[in-house]
Amino acid sequence: MTSTALFAEISALAGDPARASMLHALMDGRALTAGELSRVAGVTPQTTSGHLARLATAGLVSVEQQGRHRYHRLATPSIARMLESIMRVAADLAPVRRRLSVGPRDASLRLARTCYDHLAGTLGVALADALAEQGHVELGPDAGIVTEGGIAFLRQLGVAIDRPSKSRRIACRPCLDWSERRAHLAGSIGAALCARSFEAGWVRRLDGTRAVAITPKGRHVFAERFGAVLP
């Protein structure tokens, strides 16, 4: 198995529309059953089973059996990053092609959603902008930095931040997504902020999708404490 062949195999696995839909659905970091993924992909359960078997043996998804359900999730965070980067290219290429479908079904996704382990969409960008505006983070072209004040600010709001032992500073990863085409906070900081948002009830998951709803409490916190401008 040469390096290129494995590369092609992984890409080909992501290159089927049905499997792409499933991987897309798993991008929020949750574990979904084969039946749910079947409905998402729009194919019959037996076809889905075959797809999931291939994804599992390749190591892209991990399977966990619970009773008569089999829960599938992305095997590693690096796979989520890979899917992210492909979506990024797709967003770059979309204007050249036809316009992306912007139906009402996408509206809630555009406003706020999870991107594997962090918040994305208008909300994610607004939070990143607000944190930068207040001097809590500094966002560069390749990466970002959480300032001393930012660490204190986030800790005060209950966001669990692990400070690296050696460094006094914390670097964070920006993530460009398809809807806003702007940077939002990813990496461990983004994950901690997202986890805290769910824990504190600032956002809650919407039905069975990647979309999240901003609660009244969350809207207040995001506006008053973070200084984020939300539509």
Binding residues for a second copy, per CB under 8 A?
1-17, 19-21, 24, 58-60, 76, 78-79, 81-82, 84-90, 92-94, 96-101, 138-145, 164, 166-167, 169-173, 178, 186-189
Q: Is 122 in the site for DNA (CB under 7 A)?
A: no
Report what 4 binds from DNA, a second copy, none; CB cut-off 5-8 Å by kind.
a second copy
Token pair 């079904």 in the structure block, residue: 105
Stretch that binds DNA, among 16-24, 87-95, 100-108, 196-204 (CB under 7 A): 16-24
Member of 7, 11, 17, 90 binding DNA (CB under 7 A): 17
Beta bridge partners of 130: none
Total number of residues that touch DNA (CB under 7 A): 25
Element (H, E) at 17: helix 17-26
The tokens describing 176, both together, are 């460009």
Q: Is the dihedral of CA 156, 160, 165, 171 positive or negative?
A: negative
**Smallest separation, CB 28 to DNA (Å):** 17
CB-count exposure of residue 26 (10 Å: 0-12, 13-18, 19+): buried
CB neighbour list of residue 125: distance below 8 Å, 6 or more residues apart: 180, 182, 183, 184
**Smallest separation, CB 181 to a second copy (Å):** 11
Site for DNA in 36-75 (CB under 7 A): 38, 43-54, 63, 67-70
Cα atoms in the 13 Å half-sphere on the side-chain side of 20: 10
Alpha helices in 134-215 (DSSP H): 148-156, 187-199
The closest alpha carbon to 80, from 27, 22, 15, belongs to 27
Report what 79 binds from a second copy, DNA, none; CB cut-off 5-8 Å by kind.
a second copy
Q: How many helices (H) and strands (E) does the chain have?
A: 10, 12
Report what 53 binds from DNA, a second copy, none; CB cut-off 5-8 Å by kind.
DNA
**Smallest separation, CB 222 to a second copy (Å):** 23
- Residues lying near DNA in the complex (CB under 7 A): 12, 16-18, 33-35, 38, 43-54, 63, 67-70
